């Protein structure tokens, strides 16, 4: 029966080529526009660490003075050096990492390469296991390396390809700012989206090329990248940030047991009260402990224009479907005589309704194919835009399947009213008019 209805649908569509083409184009335009923006939204709202994000938290405390104080306001989004080191030493979480962004002058030993600056991440040893960073070669450093201010680095696969043609470079010497560093690890393919661990560097920026111990970066006074917020007399230069009244570091904690989350929040409360007693903090204790996904929501990492464009695209799809309903209604009612004869010969309303819905499904498949091509073109245009998320606009298998399903389902819904209306035709009247 399915193949019979499919054959009838193809014959009917061929008889009205212009009308059929108009319906397919309408569906293709609506699906192409909406799936382009839904794919972009899907990429930007994805979980950067699936399966682990629920165990990662971003502790916030408020060390500022009373200037411009407002009760209930959000604490700073970064921590001071003193607070970051105190939280690290307490080790109240299963893992924790303190970090900031920077830029390092790389001095290649290869004569064919000129010196260049590379983005860097100054962090602590547990960064790599906490964020499940894959290694192609080698490994990360240890807590002992943090304490010793060791001259060790981990580089990305991209930088390894540039400097060492993709070979295992562990054990090689990399010179930066006239200092020799030993490469102990090369990361594999790793680019979490968004760039959740430091949104100050750009919500969807790429991974830094060089990773080194935070203590080493401070020992060598390497340049910093990122935001900072100072108060009082805290506007010190970068070389003295350790004692400055400035927040400029990011602190992450991994808490594997959900039952321990409340305990860690209590610890932050007690720490804030203790620091106020010591005279460092002036404001009442004000702490937050958002999870990774909550942190992304707080920072509104998805651009508002993307959400707006997605709603506009869905509205355009709705307009296309309304037009398709009108075209289908005209097409089906034009065949009243044919449908009346079928009913008179014994075909049930259900059978006629199924036949007409099959025609709608075929139109949806054709429109979906056209919409898929338009979506690929739309995503190619998005990747041409000067946005930090533009290069991420690629359609995965899930969105590929969703495009076809959306086209068929939406066209079937569009065909319900025309098919139902056509089934209400009285066979006797149609036979008499013939």
Q: What percent of the chain is predicted at pLDDT more than 70?
A: 88
Instruction: Output the average pLDDT for the chain.
Output: 85
Question: Do 76 and 31 share a structural domain?
Answer: no
Answer for the pair 26, 269: CB distance below 8 angstroms, yes or no: no
Single out the residue in 263, 279, 298 at which a domain terminates: 298
Question: Do 405 and 280 share a structural domain?
Answer: no
How are beta strands 210-213 and 116-123 bridged, if at all? Answer: parallel
Question: Do 152 and 95 share a structural domain?
Answer: yes
DSSP state of 205: P
Single out the residue in 298, 319, 351 at which a domain terminates: 298
In this predicted model, what pLDDT tens digit does every residue of 340-398 receive, in sequence order? 556 555 556 676 677 777 777 788 888 888 888 898 898 888 888 877 777 777 887 88
Question: Do 83 and 28 share a structural domain?
Answer: no
Q: CA-CA distances (angstroms) from residue 212 to 139, 202, 405? A: 12, 20, 47
- Could you list the residue range(s) of the whole structural domain that residue 350 is in? 2-45+302-433
Average pLDDT over residues 164-186: 94
SS3 content of the chain, % helix, strand, coil (to 5): 55, 15, 30
In this predicted model, what pLDDT tens digit does every residue of 253-301 receive, in sequence order? 999 999 999 999 999 999 999 999 998 999 999 999 999 999 999 998 8
Q: What is the pLDDT of residue 387?
A: 75
Between 326 and 429, where is the model more confident? Answer: 326
Question: Do 19 and 156 share a structural domain?
Answer: no
Q: What is the pLDDT of residue 85?
A: 96
In this predicted model, what pLDDT tens digit does every residue of 85-122 receive, in sequence order? 999 999 999 999 999 999 999 998 877 888 999 999 99
Q: What is the pLDDT of residue 143?
A: 95
Question: Do 214 and 65 share a structural domain?
Answer: yes
Residues 6+ apart with CB under 8 A from 361: 9, 408, 411, 412, 415
Average pLDDT over residues 2-21: 67
Which residues lie across from 210 on neighbouring strands?
A: 120, 155
Q: Is the pLDDT of residue 434 over 60?
A: no
Cα separation, 102 vs 193, in Å, equals: 20
Cα separation, 311 vs 300, in Å, equals: 17
Number of domains in the chain: 2
Question: Do 33 and 142 share a structural domain?
Answer: no
Question: Do 137 and 191 share a structural domain?
Answer: yes
Q: What percent of the chain is predicted at pLDDT more than 90?
A: 44
Q: Is the pLDDT of residue 226 over 90?
A: no
Q: Which long-range contacts (CB under 8 A, 24 or more apart) does 306-309 make?
A: 306/37, 306/40, 306/41, 306/44, 306/389, 307/41, 309/37
Question: Do 240 and 201 share a structural domain?
Answer: yes
Distance of CA 364 to the CA centre of its chain: 29
Q: What is the pLDDT of residue 415?
A: 76
Q: Is the pLDDT of residue 214 over 70?
A: yes
Single out the residue in 298, 324, 348 at which a domain terminates: 298
Question: Do 308 and 289 share a structural domain?
Answer: no
Q: What is the pLDDT of residue 288?
A: 95
């Amino acid at each position: 029966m399915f193949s019979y209805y499919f054959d009838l649908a193809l014959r009917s569509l061929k008889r009205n080529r212009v009308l059929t083409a108009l319906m397919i184009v309408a569906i293709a335009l609506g699906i192409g526009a909406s799936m382009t923006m839904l794919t972009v939204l899907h990429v930007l709202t994805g979980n950067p660490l699936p399966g682990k994000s629920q165990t990662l938290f971003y502790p916030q405390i408020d060390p500022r003075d009373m200037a411009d104080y407002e009760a209930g306001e959000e604490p700073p989004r970064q921590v001071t050096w003193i607070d970051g080191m105190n939280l690290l030493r307490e080790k109240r979480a299963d893992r924790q990492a303190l970090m900031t962004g920077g830029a390092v002058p790389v001095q290649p030993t290869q004569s064919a390469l000129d010196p260049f600056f590379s983005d860097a991440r100054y962090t602590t040893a547990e960064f790599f296991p906490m964020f499940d960073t894959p290694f192609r070669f080698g490994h990360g450093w240890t807590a002992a390396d943090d304490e010793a201010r060791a001259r060790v680095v981990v580089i990305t696969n991209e930088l390894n390809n540039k400097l060492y043609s993709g070979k295992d470079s562990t054990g090689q010497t990399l010179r930066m700012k006239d200092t020799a560093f030993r490469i102990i690890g090369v990361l594999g393919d790793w680019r979490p989206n968004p760039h959740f661990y430091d949104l100050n560097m750009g919500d969807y920026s790429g991974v830094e090329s060089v990773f080194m111990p935070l203590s080493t970066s401070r020992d060598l006074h390497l340049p910093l990248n990122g935001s900072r917020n100072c108060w009082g007399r805290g506007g010190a230069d970068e070389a003295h940030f350790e004692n400055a009244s400035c927040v400029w570091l990011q602190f992450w904690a991994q808490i594997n047991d959900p039952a321990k989350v409340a305990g860690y929040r209590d610890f932050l409360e007690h720490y804030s009260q203790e620091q106020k007693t010591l005279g460092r903090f002036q404001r009442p204790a004000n702490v937050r402990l958002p999870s990774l996904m909550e942190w992304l929501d707080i920072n509104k990492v998805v651009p508002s224009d993307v959400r707006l464009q997605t709603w506009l695209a869905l509205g355009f799809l709705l307009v296309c479907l309304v037009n398709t309903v009108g075209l289908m209604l005209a097409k089906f009612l034009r065949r009243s005589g044919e449908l009346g004869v079928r009913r008179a010969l014994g075909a049930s309303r259900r059978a006629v309704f199924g036949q007409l819905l099959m025609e709608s499904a075929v139109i949806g498949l054709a429109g979906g194919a056209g919409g898929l091509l338009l979506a690929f073109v739309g995503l190619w245009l998005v990747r041409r835009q000067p946005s930090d998320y533009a290069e991420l606009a690629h359609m995965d298998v899930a969105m590929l399947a969703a495009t076809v399903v959306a086209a068929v389902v939406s066209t079937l819904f569009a065909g319900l009213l025309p098919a139902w209306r056509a089934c209400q035709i009285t066979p006797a009247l149609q036979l008499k008019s013939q």
